[in-house]
Structure 1
Amino acid sequence: MSDRLSVFKTYKLYVGGKFPRSESGRVYEVTDAKGTWLANAPLSSRKDARDAVVAARKAFGGWSGATAYNRGQILYRVAEMLEGRREQYVREVAEAEGLSKSKAAAVVDAAIDRWVWYAGWTDKIAQVVGGANPVAGPFFNLSTPEPTGVVAVVAPQDSSFLGLVSVIAPVIATGNTAVVVASEKAPLPALSLGEVLATSDLPGGVVNVLSGRTAELAAPLAAHQDVNAIDLTGADAALAKELEIAAADNMKRVLRPGRAGTDFAADPGTVRLTAFLETKTVWHPTGSLGASGSSY
């Protein structure tokens, strides 16, 4: 039948495990590659950005304190949920990036595979970047990676889903929490990702998704004293320079555009996994067990 009313989707932000509208009440039109209207997306304000940082900080203790194995299980659960909504993402990516259905399907499949790939790294990265260090003395000297904290992520502008997954997954796989500024021109796949995260086992606040003007949102995040790091992948050269200067105020870790590469279809390696990790080194005296003198 052709007399049904059109049921348009209302896209909302994803902050602290909930779906608020922008506190400003603003929205902006999102169009496809041909200029056809797709939806109204929330036009986030600076207050929304600050709220997202509060939610990310609140979630950090529990998420960073979870075992790496548990984080891997949760990330894999997210991949399962993405697979179940594959057709939705194929449609959204096709519209967002002006791709054919077959090309969009390939992008979505690659994004889901990428999420699984990072899920597998959660309990392995410590063995790659940590270990025992030789020292001249009766001591154990052990280095282990720890998450940096709250990471602001400026998502890629032109890769609305594969690029998005490629910048979010490594941040949370290593125990950080994220405040994500979605692609300004193609935010809908990112906002839909919030729906998947909310119905997976990921605790609220671990990932927070904002849509709106990239420069308007990234500036307060770069200057925010409770943000520990920032990924500038989706910022152009002028904006990236401005954000890097603001980030220096509290010595944020900064992942510059291009450092990790912009070909999101390529093997990502471990650059993004290690970008927001700190190394903790612990000294411990060796001892003996009984008369044997064996060290422990």
Structure 2
Amino acid sequence: MSDARLSVFKTYKLFVGGKFPRSESGRVYEVADSKGNWLANAPLASRKDARDAVVAARKAFGGWAGATAYNRGQILYRIAEMLEGRREQFVREVAEAEGLSKSKAAAVVDAAIDRWVWYAGWTDKIGQIAGAANPVAGPYFNLSTTEPTGVVAVLAPQDSSFLGLVSVLAPVIATGNTAVVVTSEKSPLPALSLGEVLATSDLPGGVVNVLSGKAAEIGPHLAAHSDVNAIDLTGADAELATALETAAADNLKRVLRPRDEDWSADPGTDRLLTFLETKTVWHPIGV
């Protein structure tokens, strides 16, 4: 018997509604490593894929926002556990995507896993920072509490295929929002593999939806979509960000503009607070 085997190439797919569809258009595009060597064909998401992802995110929002913060933290920690188990795969994919040595890629992946754990710990604490009991002149309790904004479109960083992706995605879902993520165009494979982890980590289907392709093609549809409540423009260049911000203004979306980021730095609570709303209620004392 011959020892020769056929190579079994991995087929990367979108992650929408907890399932792994091919692009509705049937399109793919070639993904290469930092040296120009072919790695895989990735799905090239279309406008229809973006609409399907928004529908899935909206459907999942009520259950995810209504879950206890403690439960969301457990699920985020489970994601970190699953990533730890597939660490070598992500080290390889990050090394190929970003042209890093194995040791540097390992450090990036470890930092990304640690960041999931960090945000998991914040799920049931952020309300204590952003909420308040407000002093008022009268026999009333006046309480401010946090609520998630809703469906958030996230344009992932172009230059940090995994640590940057985790840094923008984890705080969105940690606070009860659901997400439609557009991956790095040139390095989508770690993000698409993350979808496989999310599918097996107790995260309800539709809470995170992952689309690979061109931000310039998918972004305008998400920015103009009336059922998307907010958009993170981190992965957009200056020209695209301006166009998307204009489109988002027509339907009053909350917008996070792109800025210089050091993904290895302590993230702080800024992104946790970005996609939260504050609800203030009055309640008579003694009732």
Please tell me the residue identity of whatever aligns with 1:123: D
Q: Which residue number corresponds to residue 286 of structure 2?
A: 287
Q: Which residue number corresponds to residue 118 of structure 1?
A: 119
Distance 2:223 2:262 in 1: 25
- Choose 1 or 2 for highest CA Rg: 1
Distance 1:100 1:3 in 2: 30
Distance 1:264 1:228 in 2: 25
5 Å matches for 1:99-114? 99-114=100-115
Distance 1:234 1:198 in 2: 24
TM-score, length of structure 1 as denominator length? 0.96
Q: Which residue number corresponds to residue 141 of structure 2?
A: 140
Q: Which residue number corresponds to residue 18 of structure 1?
A: 19
Counterparts in 2 of 1:164 and 1:2: CA distance versus 1, 3 Å: farther
Distance 2:200 2:250 in 1: 37
For structure 1, the residue ranges without an aligned partner over 5 or more in a row are 289-296
Distance 1:250 1:52 in 2: 19
Distance 2:140 2:208 in 1: 40
Q: Which residue number corresponds to residue 261 of structure 2?
A: 262
- After superposition, the CA RMSD in angstroms is 0.9
TM-score, length of structure 2 as denominator length? 0.99
Indicate whether 1:183 and 2:171 are aligned.
Answer: no
CA deviations 1:162-212 (Å, max 9, x no partner) are 000000000000000000000000000000000000001000000000001
Query: Offset at 1:214?
Result: 1.1
CA deviations 1:104-152 (Å, max 9, x no partner) are 0000000000010000000000001101000011100000010000000
Please tell me the residue identity of whatever aligns with 2:86: R
Provide the secondary structure at the position in 1 that maps to 2:61: helix
Indicate whether 1:166 and 2:199 are aligned.
Answer: no
Q: Which residue number corresponds to residue 71 of structure 2?
A: 70
5 Å matches for 1:75-90? 75-90=76-91
5 Å matches for 1:237-256? 237-256=238-257
CA deviations 1:59-107 (Å, max 9, x no partner) are 0000000000000000000000000000000000000000000000000
Please tell me the residue identity of whatever aligns with 1:6: S
Indicate whether 1:92 and 2:93 are aligned.
Answer: yes
Provide the secondary structure at the position in 1 that maps to 2:250: helix
Query: Offset at 1:2?
Result: 6.3
Please tell me the residue identity of whatever aligns with 1:47: K
Distance 1:58 1:229 in 2: 16
Distance 1:110 1:200 in 2: 19
5 Å matches for 1:147-162? 147-162=148-163
Query: Offset at 1:5?
Result: 1.2
- Percent of pairs with identical residues: 85
Distance 2:134 2:3 in 1: 71
5 Å matches for 1:24-39? 24-39=25-40
CA deviations 1:253-277 (Å, max 9, x no partner) are 111111xx51010010111000000
Please tell me the residue identity of whatever aligns with 2:39: L
Provide the secondary structure at the position in 2 that maps to 1:250: coil
Please tell me the residue identity of whatever aligns with 1:284: H
Distance 1:262 1:37 in 2: 29
Distance 2:139 2:171 in 1: 37
Provide the secondary structure at the position in 2 that maps to 1:233: coil
Provide the secondary structure at the position in 1 that maps to 2:206: coil
Distance 1:287 1:102 in 2: 62
Distance 1:120 1:234 in 2: 26
Counterparts in 2 of 1:106 and 1:2: CA distance versus 1, 3 Å: farther
Indicate whether 1:272 and 2:271 are aligned.
Answer: yes
Please tell me the residue identity of whatever aligns with 2:208: V
Provide the secondary structure at the position in 2 that maps to 1:70: helix
Query: Offset at 1:3?
Result: 1.8
Please tell me the residue identity of whatever aligns with 1:49: A
Distance 2:99 2:4 in 1: 29
Q: Which residue number corresponds to residue 43 of structure 2?
A: 42
Structure 1 stretches of 4+ with a deviation exceeding 3 A read none
Query: Offset at 1:50?
Result: 0.3
Provide the secondary structure at the position in 2 that maps to 1:281: strand
- Aligned residue pairs total 286
Query: Offset at 1:287?
Result: 1.5
Provide the secondary structure at the position in 1 that maps to 2:231: strand
Please tell me the residue identity of whatever aligns with 2:22: R
